[in-house]
Amino acid sequence: MPKQPRAWQRMLSGRRLDLLDPTPVDIEIEDIAHGLAFVARWNGQTRGEHAFSVAEHSLLVETLFTRICPEAPVKWQLAALLHDAPEYVIGDMISPVKAAVGPGYGALDERLTAAIHLRFGLPATIPVKIKRQIKKADKISAWMEAVQIAGFSKSEADRLFGAPDPAITRELTIRLRPPSETRAEFTRRHTVLLAAMT
């Protein structure tokens, strides 16, 4: 009988995360923050001295979500911050690659998301209305990234992601920081939101 391929990853915290059957007890925010701070958005095809990381993107999405839904409970702000958290182990695949991989990627993402949510006091699946608002913030972030650091023209970004309401993006700019700084900021913001939920 052939040996089964390994489907777990050892985290820096010492946890062993089973990708096929993730459990909340094997998830630590330090692992998420570290992984996301070293995963580049746009496959690294951005201007600047540092890659624009998924951790930085997640901080921006949480800010945008809060502007879109200022009355939203703190738990949904935390959900916005963690919206791409599974990418700390599965990486950030651009949309065309996700489409090519097929439904298996989505199922893996959903399992990891559910475990992450449960670990931090969120429901395994969040309400559709909230998910849509987080997706809206995600698309606005993608538009900002496309125009500011990924070499897209404004008209191209408008066509692909939709032109955002200028009131939502006012005075926001893309930040490029070393991974250690972004990791620390992501962890700090998670701590603040988690404390506000209790």
7 lies in some domain: no
The range of the structural domain enclosing residue 48 comes to 25-196
Does residue 3 lie within any of the structural domains? Answer: no
Give the sign of the dihedral formed by CA 77, CA 186, CA 191, CA 119. positive
Is 115 inside a domain boundary? Answer: yes
Q: What angle do CA 192, 194, 195 make, to 5 degrees?
A: 65
Q: Is 78 contained in some domain?
A: yes
Q: For residue range 106-125, list pLDDT tens digits in order.
A: 888 899 999 999 999 999 99
Provide the token pair at 96.
């065309």
Radius of gyration for the chain, computed over Cα atoms and rounded to the nearest angstrom: 17
Sequence-ordered alpha helix ranges (H) in the chain: 29-37, 54-68, 74-81, 87-90, 95-101, 103-119, 128-148, 154-161, 166-169, 179-197
Question: Is the model's pLDDT at 1 over the cut of 80?
Answer: no
Residue 2 pLDDT > 90: no
Q: Which residue has the higher pLDDT, 32 or 7?
A: 32
> What is the SS3 assignment for 139?
helix
More confident residue, 112 or 7: 112
User: What CA–CA distance (Å, rounded) separates 10 from 18?
Assistant: 9
Beta bridge partners of 18: 8
CATH of the domain at 58: 1.10.3210.10
CB atoms within 10 A of CB 113: 21
Look at the chain and report how many structural domains it folds into: 1
Selected residue with higher pLDDT from 93 and 63:
63
Per residue in 145-174, pLDDT (tens digit) is 999 999 999 999 999 999 999 999 999 999
Query: Does residue 130 or residue 108 have the better pLDDT?
Result: 130
Task: Flag whether 6 is in a domain.
Answer: no
Residue 13 is assigned to a structural domain of this protein: no
Task: Work out the average pLDDT over 28-39.
Answer: 97
> How do residues 49-85 score in pLDDT, each as one tens digit?
999 999 999 999 999 999 999 999 999 999 999 999 9
pLDDT for position 184: 98
The pLDDT of residue 14:
87
Q: How confident is the model at residue 19 (pLDDT cuts 50, 70, 90)?
A: confident
Assess if residue 145 is contained within a domain. yes
**Within a domain: 16:** no
Average pLDDT over residues 125-137: 97
The Cα 76–Cα 72 span in angstroms is: 6
**pTM as predicted:** 0.92
